[in-house]
Amino acid sequence: MFTRAMIKTPCRNMVNGISHANLGTPDHALAVKQHERYIQALASCGLEVIVLDPDEAFPDSTFIEDTCLVTGSVTVITRPGAVSRQGEIHAVTQAMARFDRPMAAIQAPATLDAGDVMMVQDHFYVGLSDRTNAAGISRLKEILAPYGYTVSPIELTTVLHLKTGVSYLENNCLLAWGEFVTKPELAGFTILPVDDTESYAANCVWINDRVLVPQGFDKTRDMIENQGYETIAVDVSEFRKLDGGLSCLSLRF
Ligand code: CIR
């Protein structure tokens, strides 16, 4: 169960964020409104939401998930794979320091985006991606081992981050799209396969037995509800324009 979330307000400069989506430029005012509704959704799941100020120096900084991995025992500050994002770690380091958990960091030449990290109880699947390198995965393994956590890599071929294509919904249940439906590493889970027309919805967020789903992907929402979950739909169209999914917008702990 989670009790808190940390989230970072999108800055005006988000219009200059990294994007391969070809969906146009995000509307900042609309993004701020969508962000407010996302905060309400987190609060409705019983979380205390800590909101960090926007930072114009970092267009992608609203995607706070990539900068930090919060486990039950240790907080790991990452070293994002995109150079323009590496300075985002300072604000999150400061904000996480007030919590009573040991902190560790990924250091050069290692890179790791926590959007590539999927936590399944005490095991962490980590995407080997354009953003997360082998050194990043080794370093994470080294940091987590003393706490009894294990780490294994999953090579990515089509998506930006591991959790772009697969989300753990607890209860041994995985929401998966494309290459992740048949990955041998993920055999053994109950797989909910996301339709190709709704691939964006493969990134959902389990929070205390509810699942946040992106608005407008009804096949996926129905499939998750048929599995017995209550869902909350949140419109994140402006963040999608920057290749960001629902999970990227928050840290849950
Ligand atoms: C980036 O390319 O880094 C941002 N525009 C989007 C990051 C999305 N984060 C995520 O999927 N975990």
* DSSP character at residue 252: E
Per-residue pLDDT of the chain (253 residues; tens, 9 = 90+): 999 999 999 999 999 999 999 999 999 999 999 999 999 999 999 999 999 999 999 999 999 999 999 999 999 999 999 999 999 999 999 999 999 899 999 999 999 999 999 999 999 999 999 999 999 999 999 999 999 999 999 999 999 999 999 999 999 999 999 999 999 999 999 999 999 999 999 999 999 999 999 999 999 999 999 999 999 999 999 999 999 999 999 999 9
Distance 43 CA to ligand 1 centre (A): 23
Domain residue spans of the chain: 4-252
- 131 CA: nearest ligand 1 atom: 3
Which pLDDT score is estimated for 141?
A: 98
Distance 63 CA to ligand 1 centre (A): 6
pTM of the full predicted structure? Answer: 0.97
* DSSP character at residue 223: H
Distance CA 94, CA 193 (A): 39
Distance 184 CA to ligand 1 centre (A): 26
Q: What is the pLDDT of residues 205-219, one digit of tens each?
A: 999 999 999 999 999
Q: Which of 167, 166, 236, 210 is nearest to 47 (CA)?
A: 210
Catalytic entry in 11, 45, 68, 161: 161
Among 3.75.10.10, 3.30.390.30, 3.40.50.450, 3.40.50.11540, name the CATH number for the domain at 4-252. Answer: 3.75.10.10
Structure tokens at 207: 């929070």
With a 6 Å cutoff on the Cβ, whether 245 touches ligand 1 is yes
Number of residues that make up the chain: 253
